[in-house]
Amino acid sequence: MREPASLLRRLFHDKRGLSAVTVAVSLPVLFGVAGLGIDTGLWYTIKRQNQSAADAAALSAAYEVIASNTNVATNLTPAASQAATRNNYGGTTPVVTYPYSDAIVTGGVRVTLSQTQNAGSRRGSLLSRPSRSRTRRSPPSIRCRLSACWP
């Protein structure tokens, strides 16, 4: 029977099987980083898609204002809702504020889109997160005068 010290010394100096252990330890880390990268890309894609829908809705409402259709309930909200739907928006009815004014803009149009997203199971997300409401606002700097809109 061998001494325990010599067995430990021999095991410590033995390099066979080291690559298998290294791969086994690093694979979960590699998959975790890849999953986080995929989820982050998905988050930014959803954010950009929602912001594009808000921008399209605001422009549509602004064009209605140019055409002298300034009633929020009968003209601006339906136009904003239709434009948002065409841009894959599936949330609540857009909230249109007209005339909108702040420190930069006077007489502008503001559209707010609010959508609940279950980010934990939507589109194959790898990280589990609870549902939460996401709100996107159009930039308040869309101004309309007579026949033109500009940012």
Chunk the chain into consecutive blocks of 10 residues (it has 151) and report each block's average pLDDT, rounded to whole numbers: 76 76 90 94 88 89 87 90 88 84 82 72 50 56 48 51
At residue 38, the pLDDT reads 95
What is the C-alpha to C-alpha distance for residues 12 and 14, in angstroms, rounded to an integer?
Answer: 6
At residue 36, the pLDDT reads 94
At residue 141, the pLDDT reads 46
At residue 31, the pLDDT reads 95
Phi, psi of 145 (to 5 degrees): -135, 125
At residue 120, the pLDDT reads 53
Q: With CA atoms as reference, report the closest residue to 93 among 112, 118, 75, 108.
A: 112
DSSP-assigned letters across all residues of 15-49: -TTHHHHHHHHHHHHHHHHHHHHHHHHHHHHHHHH
- The reply to whether the predicted model has a pTM over 0.75 is no
Q: Residue 79, Cβ neighbours under 10 Å: how many?
A: 23
Which residue type, as a one-letter code, is found at position 69? Answer: N
Place of tokens 């959803």: 46
What is the C-alpha to C-alpha distance for residues 123 and 118, in angstroms, rounded to an integer?
Answer: 10
Asked if 144 and 66 count as a contact pair (C-beta separation under 8 A), the reply is yes
At residue 32, the pLDDT reads 95
At residue 34, the pLDDT reads 95
